[in-house]
Copies of this chain bind each other. A is one copy, B any other.
Amino acid sequence: MSKSAKRPQKTSQRRDLTVEKIVEASLVVLRSSDPSALTMRRVAEECGVSAMAIYHHVDDKNQLATRAVDSLFFSAARVPRTEELWRDRLIAFLEDLRRRLLDTPGAGMIFVRQAVIGPGTATTTELMFGCLSEGGLSGAAIAEASDAITMLLIGSIANDLTRPPQIREELGKQLAHEETPILRQNMQSYAIRDGSERFRLAIGWILDGVVQADTSRSRNTPT
């Protein structure tokens, strides 16, 4: 799209290419494709510039991908949250973040594939820690809960983006009928899935579990 936009009049040296524009162009690419579409040449084209111009503003493709995904975290973490209870506030934030990553599937998959460290993920972690800390959890419990939530977020996005529910019917065809009786018996429940609902459920169980574990832990070793 916009192939012939941005055709520079002057021969070169426009000084109007910025990291922000490059990140924005990357997100445009990632919005409609998987990470394989994020190529330096494609991003350059989107910016109306030669491929090598990109390298003057970012170190390499890896850093560019990280910056693009981190900007989504930053947007999500900046949304003001009005929920009273820390639990509701945390869950609402996580659902919003998850939705943003799914809406830009290429970015979602990059988050699944590689570590994303930046202002966005830092703010996100601060926000999560803030909620958990408000819930009265100990430092150890905050770390445990945070890790469990991260695992669920990554797994949920990977599941939604690469494993459509229908694919599960293929599972039953991999072996002889008598080898997967229980799978077949439950296939009907298994092949239908609302990713958001499954995510919300699992997060709820995790929070219940960590709160309960931390309560009994502090009861055994009181301060």
Contacts and interface: CB of A to CB of B under 8 A. Distances in A.
B175 A123 contact: yes
B113 A113 contact: yes
A178 to B, nearest CB: 11
Query: For the complex formed by this chain, how many copies does it contain in all?
Result: 2
A153 interface: yes
Interface in A85-130: 109, 112-115, 117-119, 121-123, 125-126, 129-130
A121 B205 CA distance: 25
A136 B4 CA distance: 62
Given A122-B171, A122-B174, A133 B205 contact: no
A190 to B, nearest CB: 5
Contacts of A129: 182-183, 186
A189 B143 CA distance: 6
Interface stretch (A7-15, A19-27, A50-58, A196-204): A196-204
B163 A115 contact: yes
A48 to B, nearest CB: 30
A185 B113 CA distance: 28
Most chain-B Cβ atoms within 10 A of its Cβ — which of A147, A163, A210?
A147
A75 to B, nearest CB: 15
14 contacts: A109-B113, A115-B162, A117-B171, A118-B174, A121-B174, A130-B182, A139-B189, A143-B186, A143-B193, A144-B198, A150-B159, A151-B152, A158-B158, A205-B208
